[in-house]
Structure 1
Amino acid sequence: MPDDLTLTVGGQSIAGWTSIRVTRGMERIPSDFDISLTERYPNVSDIVVMEGDPCVVAIDGDTVITGYVDRVSEIVDAHNHVLSVCGRGKCEDIVDCSAQFDSFQFKKVTAADVATALCKPFGITVKVIGSPGILFEQVNLNVGDTPYAKIDELCKAAQLLCYEDADGALVLAPISTVEAAGGFALGVNVERAGYLRDISQRFSEYRVYLVGVGLLQDLGVQALTEYTVNDTTMPRYRPKAFIAETGDAGATVAKQHALWECNRRIGRGNVVTVTTSSWRDAAGTLYAPNTLAALSLPQLKLIDGQKFTIGEVTYRRDMNGTACDLILMPPQGFQPEPILYMPLPQDVAAALAGTNRYY
């Protein structure tokens, strides 16, 4: 069978799965799978898969998930023996567990440095694509924080995505410009496609107000600074206002946030779903998250050749056959949210860092 799925676990490589669902995504961490087989597989009663086993899920030799078995279900009757296995990628541990670090504090580090330290106890590799981003003077952990929650927070400040790759590593990267060969075209490699256009959560203006913080002054004396981002594609007047975060870097971050709100809402208001019978693009590469794809779907009123980013991929096989379901959006729909990591005046933050009181 082309593109057969193999589960390697406990020294066994098990193929012949009759029901397959494997999902990977840019905003879905960890990746996960749900597969099953019946007595049609020879000696199914001899297959031993235990919960907690390390495993590798591969499609025709191409690894798609490296992780662990979470659940095993076996059902028998007079005629059938059904084995079902569910599992997730290695990054499940940094999502589920609490972070551990000797001092619970880092100084002068990048998001990649913190990610590497927090992932190390779980045997998870960190891969950085491009620049590691800004240097943080100090990073503190709270008791009970998960590694992923802290890493995600730092990645937003550094404007990086963080997601799991096929090898179970945590990837820190910008939005990719790598493109899937062949794109998607109805009647060529697309069985079904949908296009959701939604303006209910979009606005014509995104305004940021920087409110003065001078003390002991009369009301109205301090200037009210305004910054505006316009969405010219909105058909009517719909303003949205935000108060800038405190600190002298707050205005800069708030302006970035206004632009992000505009672009993000445009992206999330244009969602394309595609179902294709193949798990691979025209070059034979498995479809993967954080990949661009050109769309030729004029029936859906899309600009021919417009490139959307693949946000989520599901490889599936069931009684209805083999298919790949994909969710795509404009690239700006996946841009990380800008945040002000330390909402303090920069000179105050520097002084506190020097006296080990940087909160």
Structure 2
Amino acid sequence: MTVAGQPTRRIRLSIDGRNFDQFVRADLAHDLSELSASFDLTCRDEFRAAQSWDYATPVDGTGPLDWGKRCEIFVDGELWLIGHVDEVMPEASNGQSFTVISGRDLTGDLVDCPPDPRGKHEYRDLTLTEFAEKLCKPFSIKVRAETDVLPTFDKMTVEAGETVLSAIAKYAKQRGVLVTTDRVGTLVITRSGQERAADDIAFPGNVTRSRGSFSARERFSDYFVKGQGEKNGGKRGKTPALDATAEPLDTAPTKPAPATDDPEDLPEGAGTLVMGHARDPEVTRWRPFIAMARTKATAFDAQRQAEWEMRTRRGKGDKEDYTYPGYSAAGALWKPNTLARVTDTYANIDRDMLLAGVRLTYGERGERTALRMTGPEAYDLLPENDRRAAKGSGKSAGKSSSAKGGKLDGTARPL
């Protein structure tokens, strides 16, 4: 354990074979709401100090810290991130000096940049993984799929000015998968909460601070998604293959009834318009929400997106932040996209929640990990069993399994 107020050596930054391991401040963050993990490290730049003050310790001619450098970050000897230094901020006054280094993992370029402008803008008969590989290849970023991404798409397009992340994300939503990073050079296509966290969370207990928010501001009673289907007589899409857990649809999704029985409120003819509809039974007053499908959609696609809007907004309405003393639990570093049993008597929570964000910090208060918890459905693009069955979300306490380790059952079940 590092003594608060003294530089920590548990975090090490390596740039061009040059190691920095005495940071007076550190902030390492990985959150599912952002594709890229990020870092902010504060240290003494010996080269800048040596060329500024006669009394400073001489150093070799490696030069000062600078932006654009490829770097590696280790926590307790474990590789935590491979990325680039985006920004260097030196600051000095008489008697003291320090430099702040910030950056992101390699996938940061996918957030900022479009696909190769000289490349293709339309692709056919590709899976989501194949599409992502083509867009990521110029950036030397690998792609790994940890879940089924079939069937292939008949047509995939890259819009003008669209970033790589945006182009991939719009098709990931249709396949019900989550796009994230492994922090060391690979874009990961996966599902949310397939593993257990390093430990359960208890307050009072192993965390020192609890702060919650249970909000209905971004929740609605009815979710509608409209999309443009194929014109009558036009090209028919391929019939998607069913996986082992899929169930055939007997009929197209039932068209929802209007809010009133006024004849002027009756829906117009279908034409080529498709619409999905989902309800949140916990919102009892009329609060409609509408979204447009970003790509050509079938009735099934629109229905699935409507259900996704309902589930994820419901999940994100439950938020809880905890402070854990230290970086690891049970010998493992905390990592996002894992499920933890949360028992919080003050917030009235007793159920599994998704660890959506991890922030490792060091400063005057020593080593701490901020854990951002949210409803387990917050990043479920497809139904994952009935993770809402236990409603311990600040209203009432629920029950759920607290077993640790191993993969969770990934069998999907329709809502």
TM (norm. structure 2) is: 0.71
Asked whether 1:84 is paired with 2:133, we answer no
- C-alpha contact 1:99 1:144 (8 A) present in aligned 2: no
- C-alpha contact 1:44 1:81 (8 A) present in aligned 2: no
In 2, Cα distance between the equivalents of 1:112 and 1:210? 24
- Deviation of residue 153 (structure 1)? 1.3
Asked whether 1:301 is paired with 2:348, we answer yes
CA 1:173/1:258 → structure 2, altered by over 3 Å: closer, same or farther? Answer: same
Could you tell me which of 281, 285, 295 is aligned with 1:237? 285
Could you tell me which of 143, 151, 159 is aligned with 2:176? 159
**Amino acid aligned to 2:144:** K
- SS of 1:66's equivalent in the other structure is strand
Could you tell me which of 157, 178, 199 is aligned with 2:216? 199
Could you tell me which of 306, 318, 321 is aligned with 1:258? 306
- C-alpha contact 1:133 1:159 (8 A) present in aligned 2: no
- SS of 1:24's equivalent in the other structure is strand
CA 1:85/1:246 → structure 2, altered by over 3 Å: closer, same or farther? Answer: closer
Q: Deviations over 1:71-95 (max 9, x none)?
A: 1222334322312211111111112
**Amino acid aligned to 2:341:** A
- C-alpha contact 1:180 1:287 (8 A) present in aligned 2: yes
- C-alpha contact 2:174 2:305 (8 A) present in aligned 1: no
CA 1:167/1:180 → structure 2, altered by over 3 Å: closer, same or farther? Answer: same
In 2, Cα distance between the equivalents of 1:44 and 1:164? 40
- C-alpha contact 1:18 1:37 (8 A) present in aligned 2: yes
**Amino acid aligned to 2:177:** L
Asked whether 1:312 is paired with 2:357, we answer yes
- C-alpha contact 2:312 2:381 (8 A) present in aligned 1: no
Q: Deviations over 1:27-63 (max 9, x none)?
A: 2122111111248999596674221110011101122
- C-alpha contact 1:38 1:80 (8 A) present in aligned 2: no
**Amino acid aligned to 2:339:** L
In 1, Cα distance between the equivalents of 2:314 and 2:372? 16
CA 1:160/1:221 → structure 2, altered by over 3 Å: closer, same or farther? Answer: closer
- SS of 1:156's equivalent in the other structure is helix
- Deviation of residue 105 (structure 1)? 2.6
In 1, Cα distance between the equivalents of 2:228 and 2:91? 64
Alignment of 1:168-247 (within 5 A): 168-206=185-223, 229-234=278-283, 236-240=284-288, 242=290
Provide the residue aligned with 1:22 in structure 2.
28
Q: Please, which moves more after superposition, 23-32 or 205-214?
A: 205-214
Provide the residue aligned with 1:267 in structure 2.
315
Equivalent pairs, count: 330
In 2, Cα distance between the equivalents of 1:29 and 1:184? 25
CA 1:243/1:117 → structure 2, altered by over 3 Å: closer, same or farther? Answer: closer
In 1, Cα distance between the equivalents of 2:101 and 2:267? 67
- C-alpha contact 1:211 1:223 (8 A) present in aligned 2: no
- SS of 2:196's equivalent in the other structure is coil
- Deviation of residue 162 (structure 1)? 0.7
In 2, Cα distance between the equivalents of 1:245 and 1:138? 15
In 2, Cα distance between the equivalents of 1:170 and 1:128? 9
Provide the residue aligned with 1:357 in structure 2.
none
- SS of 1:252's equivalent in the other structure is helix
- SS of 2:134's equivalent in the other structure is helix
CA 1:316/1:58 → structure 2, altered by over 3 Å: closer, same or farther? Answer: same
- SS of 2:346's equivalent in the other structure is helix
- Deviation of residue 20 (structure 1)? 0.3
- Deviation of residue 259 (structure 1)? 2.0
Provide the residue aligned with 1:37 in structure 2.
43
In 2, Cα distance between the equivalents of 1:210 and 1:89? 35
Structure with more helix by fraction = 1
Asked whether 1:332 is paired with 2:382, we answer no
- SS of 2:219's equivalent in the other structure is coil
Provide the residue aligned with 1:55 in structure 2.
71
Query: Which runs of no fewer than 5 residues in structure 1 stay unpaired?
Result: 339-359
- C-alpha contact 1:156 1:337 (8 A) present in aligned 2: no
Asked whether 1:321 is paired with 2:338, we answer no
**Amino acid aligned to 1:76:** A
* RMSD across aligned positions (CA): 3.4
TM (norm. structure 1) is: 0.81
